[in-house]
A and B are shown apart, each in its own frame.
Chain A
Amino acid sequence: MEVLIVEDECAIAGSLKKNFLNAGHHAIIVTDGEAALSTIKNIQYDVILLDWKMPKMTGLQLCKKMKGAGLKTPIILLTALSEISNKVEALNAGADDYITKPFSFEEVLARINAVLRRYQSSVSALPFGDYSLDLIERTVISTEDKIRLSEKEFDLLRYFLLNRGSIVSKEQLCEKVWNIACNPETNFVEVTIKNLRKKLETGLNKKFIRTIYGEGYIFFAD
């Protein structure tokens, strides 16, 4: 396995590299975003470990840039503990997972393997529970079934998946999914949610979208 480590702390990077070598993998260290962008042009990596806090360009910016350029390699962010509330930010930037410092090498390997498994099953999919949302086919894939989604249902489910565990208000959905300002008289949000619920919950026999009166909706993957 080819691993790219983007980390300005040489000691951490060096130690990680040694561990990877010990486990039979090959790792390359770069210390800033510029170097990372140039090396991915030449070498096809299996996974990229990205430090959140770096000079010049933060891990988050670099992640957005790489994914924006169409990079298919999975990215795992290395973050400090105090940044764990930025989970949504990390997932929105296109990162596949994140690990908080300090970590043990076993944990790093486990996370990498989990991400790689997901990539092998579907190149671009957002998994939730035993299911996943195929971002290209725009369908929900379960072990035995495929559920087709309309354009807005797909956008809505994608937004829910990126914000899983967090309450999203109707206003938020209007703005982020439909790109329009919310009008209390219209009910397209409710209608789309109702349709999505029907498709997901009857097809998969589970409750994913829950309502919190007066606040909005929340998505639970399992």
Chain B
Amino acid sequence: MRIRYLKIEISRSVLQNSFLIASVIVGFLILYNVFTFGLLKHELNENLDNSLGHEIENVNKAFRIQQDSILILNPNEFLETDLTRITDHPFFVQIYNTKGKLLLKSKNTEFIQPIPKRFYELNEELYFEDDYAGKEEIRSAYKKLTDETGTLIGYLQLSTTKSRLTVITTNLLIFNLIAFPMILLVILIASVLISKRTYSPINKIISTAKSISASNLNERLSYKADSKDEIGKLRDTLNDLFERLEFQVKQISSFTDNASHQLMNPLTTINSELDFLLNNKLIIDDQDNSVKVIKEETGRMIKIVKSLLLLAKDSNTLFDQKQLFNLSKIVKENVKNIYKEKKIEVDIDPEFYLRGNPDYFSIALQNLIDNAKKYSNEDWVTLSAKITDGNVILRVEDFGVGINNEEKEKVYDRFYRSEKVEMLGIKGNGLGLSLVKLIITAMNGSIEINDNSPRGSIFIITLPAVDLH
């Protein structure tokens, strides 16, 4: 699967890699945030408790309880703005006895919902507790008040709103919620870019490796990389592979070349001897017949060997950049010399020129005409050509058995014969069309098979036209 994003092609492995990197970073970020958030909350609470503790001591020093009434020792303490108004950092004081009777409260408690009075069996001198005054979140510090004998007579409660703290933590939370998707996006893009960078040498190697085919097997990957790192190793391994491949291909083609050459000499002799026998009027009818069969089969064998010889060749040697030929002339020569019966219709402009070796093109043409004739009952073949977009389009049409769609690519395989023609018992070696394809491809052309109507096939050959003046 490949998706296109901003005209940059991102492969699946790059995406997978990026998601992996992004999720690791994001996971770490989440953990880090949770930890910081907790720590911050804890620190803020500690801070609050400290100031509450500090203030409660101050307040504690400023009064004394005498039989359910308060004796204020330091009135200034109770007149501090923090205790009289709602400030940034207000302190609400409530002093009550064990029965819950309120003995004193600071002035600013009027501006807030009633703060619940709590009675705790306190062991500690100081106790801190989260609470609510109406809906307002508060934190309270408690200090037990004792008489001279040490009996509990009441409580000093000092509360403060947590709104400042809540604002800080909520802000942090909101900031995180907004920032998080953005960070995620940035990380994702960054990791895609990094992954692409990591893969770019591999992509370069892939594109070079792709361009190396049978015709330029001597080429090698020349990507610059240290031979100790992965990219360098990949390059060296692939180059090694190409080396072995080139050797094998060369060996196979030189074997085929030698073998066909060796076969050619005896075949020439056999053919020549058969000519002698057939021209010699002394042989009797039965023998004449069998000699004719041998001659025919020798012809087939020669054709196979010739085809193999050409197929073994490097496709570059099949193409001659410097040679031009006239299409109509070549077609007419082939039709006139080989097919004497006039059932081949030729409709080709005499001014069409093609680039390449005319002898090889003739072989391709002969194979196409042979096929068209061989597989049709009517023996009727049409050859026509036209120029479209600087290309000569040559059509070879027959009304024969036709080629099934699923076989249209296979027919170019060496020695492939369609089941249909095998069943019909039409002779052939399965090399003709692979040879045609080889020659046409070597001439920078292409070949395509369409169905003819009502039946049969149309071979469409597209070759670059040459402009002559």
Contact = CB atoms under 8 A, between A and B. Distances in A.
Contact of A105 (B279, B320, B324): B279
What is the interface residue range for chain B against chain A? 35 or more
Of all A-B residue pairs in the complex, the 4 with the closest CB atoms, nearest first, are: A15-B272, A105-B275, A102-B268, A11-B269
A172 to B, nearest CB: 10
B268 A103 contact: yes
A104 B267 CA distance: 11
A54 to B, nearest CB: 12
A8 B467 CA distance: 46
A80 B261 contact: yes
Interface in A154-179: 165-167
A81 B306 contact: yes
B275 A167 contact: no
B368 to A, nearest CB: 19
B5 interface: no
B302 interface: yes
Contact of A102 (B264, B313, B322, B466): B264
Contacts of B309: 81-82
Contacts, number: 89
Interface of B: 257, 261, 264-269, 271-273, 275-276, 279-280, 302, 306, 309-310, 313, 317, 320-326, 329, 357-359, 466-469
A22 interface: yes
B442 to A, nearest CB: 12
A18 B276 contact: yes
Interface string A86-115: 010000000000000111111000000000
Contacts of B359: 84-85, 87
Nearest to A15: B272
A16 B273 CA distance: 8
Given A105-B279, A106-B275, A211-B468, A12 B269 contact: yes
5 contacts: A103-B271, A210-B468, A213-B467, A218-B468, A220-B326
Given A85-B357, A212-B467, A213-B467, A167 B324 contact: yes
Contacts of A85: 317, 320, 357, 359
B252 to A, nearest CB: 16
B469 A166 contact: no
Determine the main DSSP class of B at the interface with A: helix
A12 B358 CA distance: 28
A167 B265 contact: no
B264 A81 contact: yes
Contact of B279 (A14, A23, A87): A23
A95 to B, nearest CB: 16
Contacts of B280: 22
A222 interface: yes
A9 interface: yes
B312 to A, nearest CB: 9
A218 to B, nearest CB: 5
A16 B279 CA distance: 13
B468 A12 contact: no
Given A81-B309, A212-B468, A213-B467, A19 B320 contact: no
Contact of B276 (A102, A105, A167, A213): A105
A38 to B, nearest CB: 25
A105 B272 CA distance: 6
Contacts of A19: 272, 275-276, 279
Given A85-B317, A165-B323, A11 B266 contact: yes
A218 B329 contact: no
B275 A218 contact: no
Interface string A13-30: 011101100110000000
Contacts of A105: 272, 275-276, 279
Nearest to A168: B322
A9 B262 CA distance: 11
Contact of B323 (A14, A15, A82, A167): A167
Given A23-B279, A80-B264, 11 more contacts: A9-B265, A11-B269, A12-B265, A12-B272, A15-B269, A80-B261, A81-B309, A106-B275, A165-B325, A211-B468, A212-B468
Contact of B257 (A12, A82, A213): A82
